[in-house]
Amino acid sequence: MSLAVTYSRAKLGIEAPQISVEVHLSNGLPAFNIVGLPETSVKESKDRVRSAIINSHFDFPARRITVNLAPADIPKEGSRFDLAIAIAILAASKQVPDNDLDNCEFIAELALTGELRPVEAVLPSARCCADDQNSLIVAEPNATEAALVEKLSVLPASHLLQVSAHLHKREPLAAWSGTVPDRRNCTEQLNEVFGQNHAKRALQIAAAGGHHVLLFGPPGTGKTMLASRLGGILPPLSNDEAMTVASIYSAAGKGLRTNIWSRPFRSPHHTASAAALVGGGSRPRPGEISLAHEGVLFLDELPEFSRHVLEVLREPLESGKILISRISAQMTYPARFQLIAAMNPCPCGYLGTVRCVCSVQQISRYRDKLSGPLLDRIDLKVQVTSVEKEQLFKQGVTCLEETDAQIQTRVCTARNQQIERQGMLNTHLSSNQIKRLCPLSSDHRELLDLAIEKFALSTRGFYRTLKVARTIADLESSESPTIEHYKEALSYRQSLNQAL
Protein backbone atom coordinates (compact mmCIF):
# COMPACT_ATOMS: atom_id res chain seq x y z
CA MET A 1 0.00 0.00 0.00
CA SER A 2 1.48 3.36 -1.12
CA LEU A 3 0.44 6.91 -0.39
CA ALA A 4 1.74 10.30 -1.63
CA VAL A 5 0.60 13.90 -1.26
CA THR A 6 1.28 16.88 -3.50
CA TYR A 7 -0.13 20.39 -3.39
CA SER A 8 -1.92 22.62 -5.86
CA ARG A 9 -4.35 25.57 -5.79
CA ALA A 10 -8.05 25.83 -6.61
CA LYS A 11 -9.52 28.66 -8.63
CA LEU A 12 -12.07 30.49 -6.49
CA GLY A 13 -12.48 34.01 -7.84
CA ILE A 14 -9.38 35.97 -6.88
CA GLU A 15 -8.76 33.57 -4.01
CA ALA A 16 -6.77 30.36 -4.37
CA PRO A 17 -7.16 27.95 -1.45
CA GLN A 18 -4.53 25.23 -1.22
CA ILE A 19 -5.59 21.77 -2.38
CA SER A 20 -3.92 18.60 -1.12
CA VAL A 21 -3.75 16.00 -3.88
CA GLU A 22 -3.67 12.68 -2.05
CA VAL A 23 -3.01 9.53 -4.09
CA HIS A 24 -3.46 6.03 -2.70
CA LEU A 25 -2.38 2.89 -4.59
CA SER A 26 -4.10 -0.23 -3.30
CA ASN A 27 -4.55 -3.84 -4.36
CA GLY A 28 -7.54 -4.84 -6.43
CA LEU A 29 -8.71 -4.56 -9.99
CA PRO A 30 -7.05 -1.68 -11.86
CA ALA A 31 -9.12 1.50 -11.53
CA PHE A 32 -8.62 5.25 -11.47
CA ASN A 33 -11.01 7.32 -9.35
CA ILE A 34 -10.94 11.02 -8.43
CA VAL A 35 -12.95 12.20 -5.42
CA GLY A 36 -13.23 15.53 -3.59
CA LEU A 37 -15.95 17.41 -5.50
CA PRO A 38 -14.27 17.37 -8.94
CA GLU A 39 -16.13 18.80 -11.93
CA THR A 40 -16.19 17.19 -15.36
CA SER A 41 -12.99 18.90 -16.54
CA VAL A 42 -11.16 17.52 -13.49
CA LYS A 43 -12.52 14.01 -13.99
CA GLU A 44 -11.28 14.11 -17.58
CA SER A 45 -7.75 14.57 -16.27
CA LYS A 46 -7.59 10.80 -15.68
CA ASP A 47 -7.06 10.15 -19.38
CA ARG A 48 -4.60 13.05 -19.79
CA VAL A 49 -2.54 11.96 -16.79
CA ARG A 50 -2.46 8.30 -17.85
CA SER A 51 -1.29 9.11 -21.38
CA ALA A 52 1.22 11.72 -20.18
CA ILE A 53 2.82 9.25 -17.74
CA ILE A 54 3.01 6.46 -20.32
CA ASN A 55 4.32 8.69 -23.13
CA SER A 56 6.97 10.08 -20.76
CA HIS A 57 8.27 6.48 -20.42
CA PHE A 58 7.12 5.97 -16.83
CA ASP A 59 5.18 2.92 -15.67
CA PHE A 60 1.51 3.60 -15.04
CA PRO A 61 0.55 1.53 -11.96
CA ALA A 62 -1.78 -1.36 -12.80
CA ARG A 63 -3.46 -1.01 -9.42
CA ARG A 64 -6.47 0.64 -7.86
CA ILE A 65 -5.69 4.38 -7.84
CA THR A 66 -7.71 6.74 -5.65
CA VAL A 67 -7.08 10.48 -5.94
CA ASN A 68 -8.57 12.70 -3.23
CA LEU A 69 -8.64 16.49 -3.72
CA ALA A 70 -8.90 17.88 -0.20
CA PRO A 71 -10.66 19.75 1.29
CA ALA A 72 -13.66 18.06 -0.30
CA ASP A 73 -16.07 20.97 0.23
CA ILE A 74 -14.28 23.27 -2.26
CA PRO A 75 -15.39 22.80 -5.90
CA LYS A 76 -12.53 21.91 -8.23
CA GLU A 77 -12.63 22.89 -11.89
CA GLY A 78 -10.29 23.08 -14.84
CA SER A 79 -7.15 21.22 -15.80
CA ARG A 80 -4.86 22.94 -13.29
CA PHE A 81 -4.49 19.77 -11.12
CA ASP A 82 -3.08 17.55 -13.90
CA LEU A 83 0.58 17.96 -12.98
CA ALA A 84 -0.02 17.60 -9.25
CA ILE A 85 -1.98 14.36 -9.82
CA ALA A 86 0.70 12.94 -12.11
CA ILE A 87 3.54 13.72 -9.69
CA ALA A 88 1.56 12.24 -6.78
CA ILE A 89 1.01 9.00 -8.75
CA LEU A 90 4.69 8.81 -9.62
CA ALA A 91 5.66 9.48 -6.00
CA ALA A 92 3.22 6.88 -4.68
CA SER A 93 4.64 4.30 -7.10
CA LYS A 94 8.22 5.24 -6.04
CA GLN A 95 9.20 6.51 -9.50
CA VAL A 96 10.08 9.98 -8.19
CA PRO A 97 11.26 10.89 -4.67
CA ASP A 98 8.81 12.55 -2.31
CA ASN A 99 11.38 14.41 -0.18
CA ASP A 100 10.67 17.92 -1.52
CA LEU A 101 6.94 17.67 -2.15
CA ASP A 102 5.96 19.44 1.08
CA ASN A 103 7.41 22.83 0.07
CA CYS A 104 6.48 22.79 -3.59
CA GLU A 105 3.19 23.38 -5.44
CA PHE A 106 2.23 22.28 -8.95
CA ILE A 107 -0.15 24.03 -11.35
CA ALA A 108 -0.22 23.00 -15.01
CA GLU A 109 -2.24 21.09 -17.57
CA LEU A 110 -0.72 17.99 -19.14
CA ALA A 111 -0.75 17.20 -22.83
CA LEU A 112 -0.95 13.54 -23.86
CA THR A 113 2.76 13.72 -24.72
CA GLY A 114 3.68 14.86 -21.22
CA GLU A 115 4.20 18.49 -22.17
CA LEU A 116 3.05 21.19 -19.74
CA ARG A 117 0.40 23.62 -20.89
CA PRO A 118 -0.63 26.95 -19.30
CA VAL A 119 -3.83 27.43 -17.31
CA GLU A 120 -5.93 30.42 -16.27
CA ALA A 121 -5.80 32.35 -12.99
CA VAL A 122 -2.19 31.57 -12.06
CA LEU A 123 -1.53 34.92 -10.40
CA PRO A 124 -3.96 34.46 -7.44
CA SER A 125 -2.41 31.05 -6.87
CA ALA A 126 1.08 32.53 -7.00
CA ARG A 127 0.20 35.18 -4.41
CA CYS A 128 -1.15 32.57 -1.99
CA CYS A 129 1.82 30.29 -2.68
CA ALA A 130 4.20 33.11 -1.76
CA ASP A 131 2.29 33.69 1.50
CA ASP A 132 2.91 30.04 2.40
CA GLN A 133 6.59 30.37 1.41
CA ASN A 134 6.43 27.54 -1.12
CA SER A 135 7.99 27.32 -4.56
CA LEU A 136 5.69 27.02 -7.58
CA ILE A 137 6.18 24.82 -10.64
CA VAL A 138 4.19 26.02 -13.65
CA ALA A 139 4.21 25.74 -17.43
CA GLU A 140 6.67 28.11 -19.10
CA PRO A 141 3.96 30.39 -20.61
CA ASN A 142 2.60 31.04 -17.09
CA ALA A 143 6.01 31.97 -15.62
CA THR A 144 5.87 35.68 -16.48
CA GLU A 145 2.51 36.09 -14.77
CA ALA A 146 3.47 34.10 -11.66
CA ALA A 147 6.80 35.93 -11.32
CA LEU A 148 5.02 39.25 -10.74
CA VAL A 149 4.68 38.14 -7.12
CA GLU A 150 7.66 39.24 -5.10
CA LYS A 151 9.62 36.73 -2.99
CA LEU A 152 8.18 33.75 -4.87
CA SER A 153 10.41 31.08 -6.40
CA VAL A 154 8.82 30.34 -9.80
CA LEU A 155 10.14 27.22 -11.51
CA PRO A 156 8.96 27.00 -15.13
CA ALA A 157 9.00 23.66 -16.92
CA SER A 158 7.96 22.46 -20.36
CA HIS A 159 7.64 18.70 -19.82
CA LEU A 160 6.80 16.17 -17.13
CA LEU A 161 10.30 14.69 -17.53
CA GLN A 162 11.84 18.03 -16.52
CA VAL A 163 9.80 18.07 -13.32
CA SER A 164 10.88 14.48 -12.62
CA ALA A 165 14.55 15.36 -13.18
CA HIS A 166 14.13 18.31 -10.79
CA LEU A 167 12.69 16.11 -8.05
CA HIS A 168 15.49 13.57 -8.57
CA LYS A 169 17.93 16.53 -8.27
CA ARG A 170 19.60 15.51 -11.52
CA GLU A 171 18.70 18.68 -13.42
CA PRO A 172 17.13 21.23 -11.07
CA LEU A 173 14.72 23.66 -12.67
CA ALA A 174 16.09 27.17 -13.02
CA ALA A 175 14.13 29.92 -11.32
CA TRP A 176 12.43 32.30 -13.73
CA SER A 177 14.71 35.21 -14.60
CA GLY A 178 12.80 37.22 -17.20
CA THR A 179 11.99 40.91 -17.06
CA VAL A 180 8.91 42.45 -15.47
CA PRO A 181 6.89 44.83 -17.68
CA ASP A 182 8.01 48.44 -17.29
CA ARG A 183 5.96 51.37 -16.02
CA ARG A 184 5.04 53.00 -19.30
CA ASN A 185 3.07 56.21 -19.30
CA CYS A 186 -0.11 56.89 -21.24
CA THR A 187 0.68 58.25 -24.70
CA GLU A 188 -2.57 60.21 -25.09
CA GLN A 189 -2.25 63.67 -23.55
CA LEU A 190 -5.05 65.74 -22.05
CA ASN A 191 -3.65 68.91 -23.59
CA GLU A 192 -4.28 67.43 -27.04
CA VAL A 193 -7.95 68.33 -26.52
CA PHE A 194 -8.44 71.93 -27.68
CA GLY A 195 -10.49 74.19 -25.45
CA GLN A 196 -12.84 72.59 -22.89
CA ASN A 197 -10.90 74.08 -19.97
CA HIS A 198 -13.92 73.70 -17.69
CA ALA A 199 -14.11 69.97 -18.44
CA LYS A 200 -10.34 69.54 -18.03
CA ARG A 201 -10.55 71.21 -14.64
CA ALA A 202 -13.34 68.83 -13.63
CA LEU A 203 -11.28 65.81 -14.70
CA GLN A 204 -8.37 67.01 -12.55
CA ILE A 205 -10.70 67.27 -9.56
CA ALA A 206 -12.10 63.83 -10.31
CA ALA A 207 -8.60 62.34 -10.59
CA ALA A 208 -7.48 63.92 -7.32
CA GLY A 209 -10.44 62.73 -5.25
CA GLY A 210 -11.63 59.63 -7.12
CA HIS A 211 -14.97 61.25 -7.98
CA HIS A 212 -17.48 60.12 -10.61
CA VAL A 213 -18.10 62.37 -13.64
CA LEU A 214 -20.86 62.84 -16.20
CA LEU A 215 -19.92 64.72 -19.38
CA PHE A 216 -22.86 65.95 -21.43
CA GLY A 217 -23.11 68.05 -24.54
CA PRO A 218 -23.62 67.96 -28.33
CA PRO A 219 -21.96 65.30 -30.51
CA GLY A 220 -18.37 65.91 -31.56
CA THR A 221 -17.41 68.21 -28.70
CA GLY A 222 -14.69 65.93 -27.30
CA LYS A 223 -16.47 64.04 -24.52
CA THR A 224 -14.95 60.69 -25.47
CA MET A 225 -11.50 62.23 -26.00
CA LEU A 226 -11.60 63.82 -22.57
CA ALA A 227 -12.66 60.59 -20.86
CA SER A 228 -10.02 58.49 -22.64
CA ARG A 229 -7.27 60.83 -21.48
CA LEU A 230 -8.13 60.67 -17.80
CA GLY A 231 -5.70 57.75 -17.37
CA GLY A 232 -2.79 60.02 -18.30
CA ILE A 233 -3.25 62.16 -15.17
CA LEU A 234 -4.07 59.34 -12.74
CA PRO A 235 -1.19 58.08 -10.59
CA PRO A 236 0.16 54.59 -11.38
CA LEU A 237 -1.04 51.67 -9.30
CA SER A 238 0.87 50.70 -6.19
CA ASN A 239 2.32 47.19 -6.05
CA ASP A 240 -0.58 45.86 -3.95
CA GLU A 241 -3.16 47.50 -6.20
CA ALA A 242 -1.43 46.21 -9.32
CA MET A 243 -1.40 42.66 -7.95
CA THR A 244 -5.11 42.84 -7.09
CA VAL A 245 -6.04 44.17 -10.53
CA ALA A 246 -3.82 41.60 -12.24
CA SER A 247 -5.45 38.85 -10.15
CA ILE A 248 -8.90 39.95 -11.33
CA TYR A 249 -7.78 39.85 -14.96
CA SER A 250 -6.22 36.45 -14.36
CA ALA A 251 -9.42 35.12 -12.76
CA ALA A 252 -11.37 36.43 -15.75
CA GLY A 253 -9.13 34.47 -18.11
CA LYS A 254 -7.70 37.61 -19.74
CA GLY A 255 -4.07 36.89 -18.95
CA LEU A 256 -1.50 39.54 -18.14
CA ARG A 257 -2.17 43.19 -18.92
CA THR A 258 0.36 44.99 -21.15
CA ASN A 259 1.22 47.51 -18.46
CA ILE A 260 0.23 46.15 -15.07
CA TRP A 261 0.91 49.46 -13.24
CA SER A 262 -1.40 51.61 -15.36
CA ARG A 263 -4.94 52.18 -14.18
CA PRO A 264 -7.38 49.92 -16.08
CA PHE A 265 -9.71 51.68 -18.51
CA ARG A 266 -12.83 49.73 -19.48
CA SER A 267 -15.31 50.98 -22.06
CA PRO A 268 -18.14 48.46 -22.62
CA HIS A 269 -20.53 48.98 -25.54
CA HIS A 270 -24.02 50.22 -24.72
CA THR A 271 -25.44 46.84 -25.83
CA ALA A 272 -23.68 45.13 -22.87
CA SER A 273 -25.94 43.14 -20.57
CA ALA A 274 -26.17 43.46 -16.80
CA ALA A 275 -24.24 40.18 -16.42
CA ALA A 276 -21.46 41.52 -18.65
CA LEU A 277 -21.17 44.56 -16.40
CA VAL A 278 -21.31 42.93 -12.95
CA GLY A 279 -20.06 39.45 -13.87
CA GLY A 280 -21.73 36.08 -13.92
CA GLY A 281 -21.75 32.53 -15.19
CA SER A 282 -22.29 29.20 -13.46
CA ARG A 283 -18.90 29.81 -11.87
CA PRO A 284 -19.10 33.59 -11.54
CA ARG A 285 -16.39 35.49 -13.37
CA PRO A 286 -15.57 39.19 -12.97
CA GLY A 287 -17.52 41.66 -15.09
CA GLU A 288 -16.56 45.06 -16.46
CA ILE A 289 -16.96 46.84 -13.12
CA SER A 290 -14.45 44.48 -11.47
CA LEU A 291 -12.08 44.66 -14.44
CA ALA A 292 -12.17 48.44 -13.91
CA HIS A 293 -11.20 48.08 -10.22
CA GLU A 294 -8.83 50.88 -9.17
CA GLY A 295 -9.32 52.40 -12.62
CA VAL A 296 -11.93 53.95 -14.90
CA LEU A 297 -15.24 52.58 -16.18
CA PHE A 298 -16.27 54.71 -19.16
CA LEU A 299 -19.89 54.46 -20.32
CA ASP A 300 -20.27 56.34 -23.59
CA GLU A 301 -23.81 57.24 -24.74
CA LEU A 302 -25.08 56.60 -21.21
CA PRO A 303 -28.85 56.75 -21.95
CA GLU A 304 -28.42 54.14 -24.71
CA PHE A 305 -27.71 51.53 -22.01
CA SER A 306 -30.85 49.80 -20.79
CA ARG A 307 -32.20 51.14 -17.53
CA HIS A 308 -31.84 47.73 -15.87
CA VAL A 309 -28.13 47.64 -16.76
CA LEU A 310 -27.55 51.11 -15.33
CA GLU A 311 -29.39 50.35 -12.10
CA VAL A 312 -27.01 47.50 -11.25
CA LEU A 313 -24.26 50.11 -10.89
CA ARG A 314 -25.89 51.79 -7.91
CA GLU A 315 -24.74 49.38 -5.20
CA PRO A 316 -21.09 48.92 -6.32
CA LEU A 317 -20.77 52.71 -6.73
CA GLU A 318 -21.35 52.96 -2.97
CA SER A 319 -19.82 49.75 -1.62
CA GLY A 320 -16.84 49.25 -3.96
CA LYS A 321 -17.54 45.53 -4.36
CA ILE A 322 -20.02 43.20 -6.02
CA LEU A 323 -21.47 39.94 -4.69
CA ILE A 324 -22.48 37.53 -7.47
CA SER A 325 -24.78 34.76 -6.26
CA ARG A 326 -25.49 31.62 -8.24
CA ILE A 327 -26.95 28.27 -7.25
CA SER A 328 -23.55 26.58 -7.26
CA ALA A 329 -21.38 29.39 -5.91
CA GLN A 330 -21.12 32.88 -4.47
CA MET A 331 -18.25 35.19 -5.37
CA THR A 332 -17.38 38.63 -4.09
CA TYR A 333 -15.19 40.70 -6.40
CA PRO A 334 -13.73 44.15 -5.71
CA ALA A 335 -15.28 46.90 -7.85
CA ARG A 336 -13.93 50.22 -6.62
CA PHE A 337 -13.93 52.05 -9.92
CA GLN A 338 -14.26 55.62 -11.11
CA LEU A 339 -17.32 56.09 -13.30
CA ILE A 340 -16.94 58.45 -16.25
CA ALA A 341 -20.09 58.73 -18.36
CA ALA A 342 -20.91 60.71 -21.48
CA MET A 343 -24.26 61.58 -23.01
CA ASN A 344 -26.03 63.91 -25.41
CA PRO A 345 -28.73 66.31 -24.16
CA CYS A 346 -31.33 64.62 -26.40
CA PRO A 347 -31.45 61.67 -28.86
CA CYS A 348 -30.20 63.76 -31.79
CA GLY A 349 -27.79 65.70 -29.57
CA TYR A 350 -28.65 69.21 -30.76
CA LEU A 351 -31.18 70.28 -28.13
CA GLY A 352 -31.83 74.02 -28.15
CA THR A 353 -30.69 74.59 -31.75
CA VAL A 354 -32.53 74.66 -35.07
CA ARG A 355 -30.94 71.29 -35.89
CA CYS A 356 -32.84 69.47 -33.12
CA VAL A 357 -35.56 67.16 -34.50
CA CYS A 358 -36.56 65.45 -31.25
CA SER A 359 -40.11 65.56 -29.93
CA VAL A 360 -40.91 66.19 -26.28
CA GLN A 361 -41.86 62.53 -25.86
CA GLN A 362 -38.57 61.33 -27.37
CA ILE A 363 -36.56 63.61 -25.08
CA SER A 364 -38.57 62.43 -22.07
CA ARG A 365 -38.01 58.74 -22.88
CA TYR A 366 -34.32 59.42 -23.47
CA ARG A 367 -33.83 61.06 -20.07
CA ASP A 368 -36.05 58.60 -18.19
CA LYS A 369 -33.41 55.90 -18.61
CA LEU A 370 -31.31 57.76 -16.05
CA SER A 371 -32.82 57.40 -12.60
CA GLY A 372 -32.50 60.07 -9.94
CA PRO A 373 -30.64 57.77 -7.51
CA LEU A 374 -28.02 56.98 -10.16
CA LEU A 375 -27.47 60.62 -11.11
CA ASP A 376 -27.31 61.54 -7.44
CA ARG A 377 -24.27 59.27 -7.06
CA ILE A 378 -22.34 61.18 -9.73
CA ASP A 379 -20.28 63.96 -8.14
CA LEU A 380 -19.40 66.13 -11.14
CA LYS A 381 -21.85 66.89 -13.94
CA VAL A 382 -19.97 68.81 -16.59
CA GLN A 383 -21.38 70.48 -19.68
CA VAL A 384 -19.12 70.16 -22.73
CA THR A 385 -19.93 72.84 -25.28
CA SER A 386 -18.93 73.18 -28.92
CA VAL A 387 -15.38 74.38 -29.48
CA GLU A 388 -15.04 77.90 -30.82
CA LYS A 389 -13.72 78.13 -34.37
CA GLU A 390 -10.74 80.17 -33.17
CA GLN A 391 -9.65 77.16 -31.10
CA LEU A 392 -9.98 74.85 -34.11
CA PHE A 393 -7.69 77.03 -36.21
CA LYS A 394 -5.01 76.76 -33.50
CA GLN A 395 -4.34 73.12 -34.39
CA GLY A 396 -0.67 72.62 -35.11
CA VAL A 397 0.33 75.56 -32.92
CA THR A 398 2.54 74.78 -29.93
CA CYS A 399 0.35 74.14 -26.90
CA LEU A 400 1.25 76.15 -23.82
CA GLU A 401 -1.02 74.21 -21.47
CA GLU A 402 0.27 72.01 -18.66
CA THR A 403 1.55 68.59 -19.61
CA ASP A 404 -0.03 65.46 -18.21
CA ALA A 405 3.09 64.86 -16.12
CA GLN A 406 2.65 68.23 -14.40
CA ILE A 407 -1.04 67.61 -13.75
CA GLN A 408 -0.30 64.09 -12.54
CA THR A 409 2.24 65.45 -10.06
CA ARG A 410 -0.37 67.79 -8.59
CA VAL A 411 -2.96 65.00 -8.50
CA CYS A 412 -0.52 62.66 -6.74
CA THR A 413 0.29 65.34 -4.18
CA ALA A 414 -3.41 65.82 -3.41
CA ARG A 415 -3.99 62.07 -3.17
CA ASN A 416 -1.01 61.56 -0.88
CA GLN A 417 -2.29 64.33 1.36
CA GLN A 418 -5.65 62.57 1.61
CA ILE A 419 -4.09 59.20 2.39
CA GLU A 420 -1.88 60.68 5.11
CA ARG A 421 -4.79 62.62 6.62
CA GLN A 422 -7.60 60.06 6.57
CA GLY A 423 -6.23 56.84 5.02
CA MET A 424 -8.50 57.00 1.95
CA LEU A 425 -9.53 59.20 -0.95
CA ASN A 426 -12.11 61.90 -0.35
CA THR A 427 -14.78 60.08 -2.36
CA HIS A 428 -14.79 57.26 0.22
CA LEU A 429 -15.23 59.48 3.29
CA SER A 430 -18.15 58.81 5.65
CA SER A 431 -20.56 61.59 6.63
CA ASN A 432 -18.93 61.95 10.08
CA GLN A 433 -15.47 62.20 8.56
CA ILE A 434 -16.51 64.81 6.02
CA LYS A 435 -18.13 66.91 8.75
CA ARG A 436 -14.85 66.93 10.61
CA LEU A 437 -12.77 67.75 7.52
CA CYS A 438 -15.12 70.41 6.16
CA PRO A 439 -15.98 72.77 9.02
CA LEU A 440 -18.78 75.13 7.95
CA SER A 441 -18.75 78.80 8.89
CA SER A 442 -21.88 80.92 8.85
CA ASP A 443 -21.14 82.06 5.28
CA HIS A 444 -20.67 78.47 4.18
CA ARG A 445 -23.94 77.43 5.80
CA GLU A 446 -25.84 80.28 4.17
CA LEU A 447 -24.47 79.35 0.72
CA LEU A 448 -25.24 75.65 1.13
CA ASP A 449 -28.69 76.40 2.52
CA LEU A 450 -29.54 78.35 -0.64
CA ALA A 451 -28.09 75.55 -2.79
CA ILE A 452 -30.16 72.87 -1.05
CA GLU A 453 -33.34 74.81 -1.83
CA LYS A 454 -32.41 75.85 -5.38
CA PHE A 455 -30.95 72.53 -6.57
CA ALA A 456 -33.10 70.25 -4.36
CA LEU A 457 -29.97 68.57 -3.02
CA SER A 458 -30.53 65.23 -1.31
CA THR A 459 -28.56 64.28 1.78
CA ARG A 460 -26.26 62.25 -0.44
CA GLY A 461 -25.88 65.16 -2.85
CA PHE A 462 -25.07 67.51 0.03
CA TYR A 463 -22.25 65.31 1.35
CA ARG A 464 -20.90 64.66 -2.13
CA THR A 465 -20.69 68.41 -2.65
CA LEU A 466 -18.64 68.69 0.55
CA LYS A 467 -16.33 65.91 -0.67
CA VAL A 468 -15.72 67.67 -3.97
CA ALA A 469 -15.02 70.94 -2.15
CA ARG A 470 -12.54 69.11 0.08
CA THR A 471 -10.77 67.76 -3.02
CA ILE A 472 -10.60 71.23 -4.61
CA ALA A 473 -9.03 72.51 -1.40
CA ASP A 474 -6.49 69.66 -1.47
CA LEU A 475 -5.51 70.54 -5.04
CA GLU A 476 -4.74 74.05 -3.85
CA SER A 477 -3.07 72.82 -0.63
CA SER A 478 -5.68 74.61 1.47
CA GLU A 479 -6.16 73.48 5.06
CA SER A 480 -9.96 73.84 4.85
CA PRO A 481 -12.37 74.48 1.96
CA THR A 482 -13.16 78.14 1.38
CA ILE A 483 -16.41 79.61 0.11
CA GLU A 484 -14.92 79.71 -3.40
CA HIS A 485 -14.27 75.98 -3.20
CA TYR A 486 -17.89 75.36 -2.19
CA LYS A 487 -19.12 77.53 -5.06
CA GLU A 488 -17.07 75.59 -7.57
CA ALA A 489 -18.25 72.27 -6.13
CA LEU A 490 -21.87 73.42 -6.38
CA SER A 491 -21.38 74.45 -10.00
CA TYR A 492 -20.86 70.79 -10.85
CA ARG A 493 -24.16 69.84 -9.20
CA GLN A 494 -26.30 72.36 -11.08
CA SER A 495 -25.00 72.10 -14.65
CA LEU A 496 -27.08 69.10 -15.64
CA ASN A 497 -30.30 70.62 -14.34
CA GLN A 498 -29.69 73.83 -16.22
CA ALA A 499 -28.83 72.20 -19.55
CA LEU A 500 -31.45 69.47 -19.49
Q: What is the pLDDT of residues 326-339, one digit of tens each?
A: 777 788 999 999 99
Mean pLDDT of the chain: 89
pLDDT digits (tens, 9 = 90+) for 392-404: 666 554 445 678 8
- In this prediction, residues 473-489 reach a mean pLDDT of 94
Spatial CA neighbour of 277 closest among 256, 305, 244: 305
pLDDT at residue 282 greater than cutoff 80: no
Comparing 229 with 182, which gets the higher pLDDT? 229
Indicate whether 386 pLDDT > 60.
Answer: yes
> Span 346-362, mean pLDDT?
87
**Domain assignments of the chain as residue spans, ordered by start:** 2-167, 190-387+399-425
Query: Tell me, what's the pLDDT at 398?
Result: 45
- pTM of the model as a whole: 0.86
The yes or no reply on domain 2-167 and CATH 3.40.50.2000 is no
Lowest mean pLDDT among 32-36, 182-186, 371-375, 479-483: 182-186
CATH 3.40.50.300 fits 190-387+399-425, yes or no: yes
Distance of CA 215 to the CA centre of its chain: 23
Same fold, 2-167 and 190-387+399-425: no
pLDDT over threshold 50, residue 430: yes
Q: pLDDT band for position 196 (50/70/90)?
A: confident
CA angle 45, 46, 52 (to 5 degrees): 85
What is the pLDDT, as a whole number, of residue 497?
Answer: 47
Assess whether pLDDT exceeds 90 at residue 253.
no
